[in-house]
Amino acid sequence: MSEQTPHQNTTFAINPSAEGPSTGHGYLAVPESGSGPGVIVIQEWWGLTDHIKDIADRLSAAGFVALAPDLYGGRITHDGEEAGEMMSQLPAEKGAQLLAGATDYLLGLDSVTSKTVGAIGFCMGGGFVLAMAAQQGDKVSAAVPFYGVGQGIPSSFTGLTAAVQGHYAEQDQNYPVEKAREQEEQIRAESGAEVTYFYYDAGHAFHNDENLIGTYDPEKAQLAWDRAVTFLRDTVV
DSSP state of 44: B
Distance of alpha carbon 118 from its chain centroid, rounded?
A: 9
228, pLDDT greater than 60: yes
> pTM of the predicted model, to two decimals?
0.95
pLDDT at 4: 55
pLDDT at 5: 59
pLDDT at 170: 98
The per-residue pLDDT of the chain, averaged, comes to: 94
DSSP state of 58: H
CB 186 within 8 A of CB 155: no
User: Which pLDDT tens digit goes with each residue over 186-223?
Assistant: 999 999 899 999 999 999 999 999 999 999 999 999 99
Under DSSP, is residue 209 helix (H, G, I), strand (E, B) or coil?
Answer: coil
Query: What is the distance between the alpha carbons of residues 66 and 178, in angstroms, rounded to a whole number?
Result: 32
18, pLDDT greater than 70: no
Domains and CATH numbers, the chain: 7-235 (3.40.50.1820)
